[in-house]
Chains A and B, each alone.
Chain A
Amino acid sequence: MSKQAIVLNQLTKHYGTHRGINDLSFSVNEGEFFGFIGPNGAGKSTTIRTLMGLIHPSGGNASIFGLDCQTKASVIARDVGYLPSENSYYENMKVRELLQYTADLYGMDCETKMYELSERLNLDLTRKIEDLSLGNKKKVGIVSAIMTSPKLIIMDEPTSGLDPLIQQAFYDILKEENSRGATVFFSSHVLSEVQKLCDRVAILKEGHLIGIQPIKELRESGYKKVTLSAKEAIPRDFFNLSGIANYAETADKTSVSFMYNGNITAIIDKLHLLHLDDVLLEEPSLEEIFMHYYE
């Protein structure tokens, strides 16, 4: 059985009467690429900031590598690379100075990796932090979090502000770090990137954990997306089968689409009865699968 890198035990945080997170309990295994998704305000950043010892939980506890996140935050930090969702750095420093400061704070010589990552992410080390755009500041945060080769990488919405090319380079870097043995805790509200990268995913909604599932299982949940267009109008009750969801039709009722997780032969039999122009049976995107959780 693999060791656990992160363990949350009934972790709760309330901001007065405002909702934070409620009774979160799950664990992340060492070496795992773990996704943490939910809409804005679901409590992702609150959870991560509690893990990093930046805020105190109202109840429950969390540990990283067996150490309590509140009392051993500075010890834990030695093995953790963290990228906050909104990163602010010392404005009057140059990028290189800031990254060197990070390396010095860890007591490490990371010069080779710093140059390598900066080159891959197209980050200019000679510029001042105050002159950087949001995307470039994000790159500084990424290099700062990864260049120390930490055992655990915690990223809070890391791709906001990055252009698609840099995003791809960033995904490659994360995959390489994960292959090296690093555990990655990846928070995002963009499901497609979680789908590409993660082994397992935890879904958060309004501060509550809705579920944790391997991405593979989630995809194999049986849902197929059916889109079809026929020569004549399709009656509303034509597909009176169980397992149909999200049924949508055009005004003239000649085109319909829906999600289906029933017997595949039954739907094929139904399709035979129609004079079809076109039919598309496809794997739904994770967005479409997750819409069921959020509905």
Chain B
Amino acid sequence: MIILKYELKRHRKYILGWAIALALCVFVMTPTYYSFMDVSTGDLYETLGTSDFYKGVGVSMEYLTSPLGIYAFLTSFFMIASGIFGMHFGIAIHTKECSERTSEYLFTKPHTRKTIYWAKAFTVFLA
């Protein structure tokens, strides 16, 4: 628990930075979600709604033209960014100990390497 606590504290700026950036991305797209509410009566609906491609990939225009539907659709792109964050954080939290040569400090303390590894992995999970 000690390692978890300190890892969260040590990386809080990084975690909060990414969380705020992703939240902002989702928030600034709000007008887009609402603009899609009117699509059902416009040209776009006629173009996309009759497209075989969308039917083929299983996208329903009724779903896309609801605020929640378009929110889910666009947010999936932001989730790619959050995936990149997760991957980078998950790898870096372990490898930084080696590249910054701090592993010698941590590995000579009364905790097994397994404990250290899982404490760091749990930090990534919580982040």
Contact = CB atoms under 8 A, between A and B. Distances in A.
A104 B104 contact: no
A6 interface: no
Interface in A81-113: 82, 84, 86-93, 101-102, 104-107
A105 B102 contact: no
15 contacts: A53-B107, A54-B107, A73-B107, A73-B112, A74-B109, A74-B115, A77-B109, A78-B110, A84-B104, A84-B105, A86-B101, A87-B104, A88-B100, A88-B102, A101-B6
Contacts of A142: none
A85 to B, nearest CB: 10
A259 interface: no
A75 interface: yes
Interface in A122-156: 144
A5 interface: no
Contact of A92 (B10, B107, B113): B10
Given A93-B10, A104-B6, A74 B101 contact: no
A192 to B, nearest CB: 28
A90 B10 contact: yes
Contacts of A73: 107-108, 112
A32 B102 CA distance: 29
Contacts of A78: 110
A245 B48 CA distance: 99
A157 to B, nearest CB: 14
Contacts of A92: 10
Contacts of B104: 54, 84, 87-88
A52 interface: yes
A88 B101 CA distance: 6
A-B CB proximity, top 5 nearest: A88-B101, A105-B109, A77-B110, A78-B110, A74-B112
